[in-house]
Chains A and B, each alone.
Chain A
Amino acid sequence: MSAADLVAGDIRTPWSEFWRKFRKQKAALVSAAFLVLLTLAAILAPLIAPFDPAAPDYEHVLEAPTRLHWAGTDEFGRDIFSRILHGAGISLSVGLASVTIGSLIGVTLGLLAGFFGGWVDRIAMRLCDVLLAFPGIVLAIGIVAALGPGVTNVVWAVAIFSIPVFARLARGSTLTLKQAVYVDAARTIGVRDGVLMMRHILPGALPAAIVYFSMRFGTSILTAAGLSFIGLGAQPPTPEWGAMLSAGRSYIGVADHVTFYPGAAIFLTVLAFNLMGDGLRDALDPKLR
């Protein structure tokens, strides 16, 4: 081992430190790999899907899985495996969009509330109390009922009920970090409020927010699929997983594969996001539970 290797090995960037800890979490690592594969499959779905997800084939209706149709066919003879591949893109984008919107608004709100305190804090926290006064899915159903069914409105509905979770989390971190000596020092030399928040406090509040981001991703996918299942989200013939399950309900006991595979896809994806969240938590912020 040369001297240069030794020095390079000793330098611990936040990233290398994170990777060193995350690598030890086997379940999280496998989950992350699964999610990377799923994302690739979702992006490449038009190229790699063996069949057209919308093309009916009335000579092969409700067929059990074969070598040709890996997950069988549905009531219109459409290939379920191809539909699941195409549906992956919908579920992942709904999850990504809603959690991104929810976390951006929530973290901003929490940061402002924690930093300025006073009436800003009171208003922001009362707003969160009100949002938390509705059980999550009831709020989502209300929003979709007002805006109309569809994927875009589901994204907003799920985003809005993620806001208070992120706001409370960011507020907590900000309150602690505001007291830190380095923040005090920066304030003393005349650093402006905006810079204090963005450069000195936000980075400290991020690890906890990232952990929640992964966990909420799973919850969002589950909620969005649930809304589609009860007919408020993606509408048929969209190959959305929850909508596929809902359409296949009538064939329970006749053709179980129609509901089994889309359900398994939701379950595995949500499981992967939760396990990755657990691993991120242990690697980034052992204090969280």
Chain B
Amino acid sequence: MLSYLARRLLGIVPILLVVALLVFAFVHMRPGDPARLVAGADASEADVQAVRAQLGLDQPLWLQYAIYVGNLLTGDLGMSLKARRPVIAEIGERFMPTFWLTLLSMGWATLAGLVIGVASAVRRGRWQDYVGMVGAVSGIAMPSFWLGLLLIDLFAVRLGWLPSNGYGTAAHYVLPSLTLGVGVAAVMARFTRSAVIDIAREDYVRTARAKGVFERMVIWKHVMRNALIPIITMVGLQFGYLLGGSIIVETVFGWPGMGRLLIDSVSYRDYPVIQAEILIFSLEFIVINLIVDVLYAFVNPEVRFQ
């Protein structure tokens, strides 16, 4: 197990380096001179030259990349052009609101997806299955920004039960996390249903039934335990979807998180912040996938020895 863990940890290093390279290249890919952008539109040529030297933009590209990676390793993500302070401080304030929103959404969505999926599989072909799957198919096709606006309209404007905007109390979490989680709950429900149906066909399940094990016991002990293996993988994949989805949901609900910061930075062309944001989003995604793979290896010993 330890050697598997070490191998996987080493495996993400090259991916991280390439991701950093892409994010680095991103500044050089876009039209326009980054030094002029920092110096301002009406700066003199001498000022632009000074900024270029100060930012190290007159160095060869490979050296700039090496310096960039070196800075990343020490936690130096550059200065925000808009806020005029370190990017790390900007992002530090925004990280936790997004983290809690994502975690809460993932939690309820996974639970709801599992329950709906198992219920649909057990009652296959009956009305429970039908209702569950129509709900799931609709949930997958639902644009989160539309759902968010519909929920605001109903619960905030018409009924006045919940706040439509902002951050701070538990009530603020309800609508955004509902909006963010629906797609994941829908995917999980569909996936769980087919995983349970697949496993229920296995010989050992038939044997368990044949020897008179109670149906509830068959489902929870024999079927669910084995269905959990593919489901864990799916949870990891869905996390990426959720991280991306949070960007749009934060825009709808005015949530002071990473997603809002990213959108604000794009419209302000605050490139150091955009770079850092993209880097952190993909780092989060890579780490989550790593955790999922390790969990997977933990429940399924075959993987470890490949």
Residues of A within 8 A of B (CB): 126, 129-130, 133-139, 141-142, 144-148, 218, 222, 225-226, 229-232, 242, 245-246, 249, 252-253, 256, 259-260, 263-264, 266-267, 270-271, 274-275, 289
Contact = CB atoms under 8 A, between A and B. Distances in A.
Contact of A222 (B143, B194, B281): B143
B150 A138 contact: no
Given A126-B18, A135-B243, A145-B266, 7 more contacts: A138-B282, A142-B26, A225-B145, A246-B145, A252-B149, A252-B153, A263-B143
A147 B30 contact: yes
Interface string B154-185: 00011000000000000000000000000000
Contacts of A147: 30
B274 A230 contact: no
Tell which of A136, A137, A231 has the most Cβ of chain B within 10 Å: A137
B137 A138 contact: no
B115 to A, nearest CB: 21
A132 to B, nearest CB: 8
**Which of B138, B146, B245, B282 is most buried by chain A, counting CB atoms within 10 A of its CB?**
B146
A270 B158 CA distance: 28
Contact of A138 (B14, B146, B244): B244
- Most-contacted residue by chain A among B19, B143, B153, B241 (CB, 10 A): B143
B286 interface: yes
13 contacts: A126-B14, A126-B18, A130-B15, A134-B285, A138-B243, A138-B282, A142-B274, A146-B26, A218-B141, A256-B153, A267-B143, A270-B143, A274-B137
Contact of B241 (A136, A274, A289): A136
Given A229-B248, A252-B152, A138 B278 contact: yes
A141 B265 CA distance: 11
A211 to B, nearest CB: 15
B149 A130 contact: no
Contact of B30 (A146, A222, A225): A146
Nearest to A228: B145
B252 to A, nearest CB: 8
A134 B145 contact: no
B244 A231 contact: no
B142 interface: yes
A135 B145 contact: no
Of all A-B residue pairs in the complex, the 7 with the closest CB atoms, nearest first, are A263-B146, A253-B157, A137-B244, A271-B141, A135-B244, A270-B141, A135-B240
B189 interface: no
